[in-house]
A and B are shown apart, each in its own frame.
Chain A
Amino acid sequence: MGGPGSSPCASCKLLRRRCAKDCIFAPYFPPDDPHKFAIVHKVFGASNVSKMLQELPVHQRADAVNSLVFEANARVRDPVYGCVGAISYLQNQVSQLQMQLAVAQAEILCIQMQQEPNLQSHHQILELDQDDKILLLHNNIDNCNNNSNNNLGYAMSSGQFNSNFASPSSMMQMQMQMQDPLKQESLWT
């Protein structure tokens, strides 16, 4: 927190003003990380950030600042697509994995049917597999899409997302930065 005797926060340093005791930026923009506020100020503007933080309860402001910093960094790295490039890349990754999963699930079903001892003859089992493999594959793809997209549907539809946003350059950039999609904490580093 800023005030007499203590160092002004990064925001007040950049804005060249006195850092008040109740400075709204001070808890989230310490003086030892000037780049953090600089980038948020460049993309959103200090007054917009201040308004956004004022509209939030105090316990949610740290997360809001971190997400704003993430978006600002993405926008500076990719001025055309920003975070939308990352979303498009991840969506493609989800689709590819769902396809691979559908294929694997169809294969395991076929193997299980081949090993099922209760069918009438071995020859009939083979014929059944030939006919049903494609059907099972299509059914599994539909099931995978229905199960996985329910959680994302509300989020994607609310933003009217257009999957045609991705550009190769943004995909390559985000691929390098999202090599560890398993850790959500990487969003905040």
Chain B
Amino acid sequence: FIIFWYLSSLWKKSVMNPKRCAACKYLRRRCPKDCIFSPYFPPGDPDKFACIHRIYGAGNVSKMLQQLPVQTRAEAVESLSFEAKCRVEDPVYGCVGIISLLQTEIQKTQTLLARTQAEIAVAQAKHSQNPS
């Protein structure tokens, strides 16, 4: 029995990659050498994949990455991760809430800028009429 146990643990170690990526660890599957997730989901950060999986699902993320050139996949994963985190923190608006805040900020700043520029024009006109 001991020999069997020893041989089976050796076999498991050779088949199961001890350095599975976070995605394959989460999905409880073998991590192949050409795993599409492994460059972007290192084992030290399990929450990153968990969050993306919760919002998009592993299959959708895999499809999205396969449709992208390899050099753009890292950025795509980071943006998906950001959007997924926003959605988890704000289940109603997600990152669209941030866009809305920025648009409001732009509107406020444009109004203030227009008002200040009008004040400058008035002050300059006043100064040119009364140069002394």
- Residues on A facing B (Cβ under 8 Å): 42-45, 47-48, 52, 55-56, 60, 63-64, 67-68, 70-71, 75, 79-87, 90-91, 93-94, 97-98, 100-101, 104-105, 107-108, 111-112, 114-115, 148, 151-152, 155-156, 158-162, 165, 167, 178, 181-182, 184, 187
Contact = CB atoms under 8 A, between A and B. Distances in A.
- 8 A-B pairs with the lowest CB-CB distances in the bound complex, closest first: A90-B102, A67-B96, A84-B79, A104-B116, A97-B109, A111-B123, A181-B103, A45-B57
Nearest to A107: B120
A125 B85 CA distance: 54
Interface string B107-121: 111101100110110
Given A47-B57, A84-B83, A187-B99, A181 B107 contact: yes
**Which range holds the interface residue count of chain B?**
35 or more
Contacts of B100: 184, 187
A182 B109 CA distance: 11
A144 B122 CA distance: 23
B106 A93 contact: yes
B7 interface: no
B94 interface: yes
Chain A CB within 10 Å, residue with most, of B94, B99, B105, B110: B99
B15 interface: no
Interface of B: 54-57, 59-60, 64, 67-68, 72, 75-76, 78-80, 82-83, 85-87, 89, 91-110, 112-113, 116-117, 119-120, 123-124, 126-127
Given A63-B93, A97-B110, A152 B117 contact: no
Given A82-B80, A82-B83, A108 B116 contact: yes
Interface class of chain B by DSSP: helix
Given A45-B56, A152-B102, A111 B120 contact: yes
Given A56-B92, A105-B116, A155-B98, 16 more contacts: A64-B93, A68-B94, A79-B64, A80-B79, A83-B79, A87-B98, A93-B102, A94-B102, A97-B110, A104-B113, A111-B120, A111-B123, A159-B85, A160-B82, A182-B106, A184-B100
Name the residue among A60, A67, A93 with the largest chain B CB count within 10 angstroms.
Answer: A67
Contacts of A108: 116, 119-120, 123
B99 A86 contact: yes
A2 B113 CA distance: 51
Contacts of B113: 97, 100-101, 104
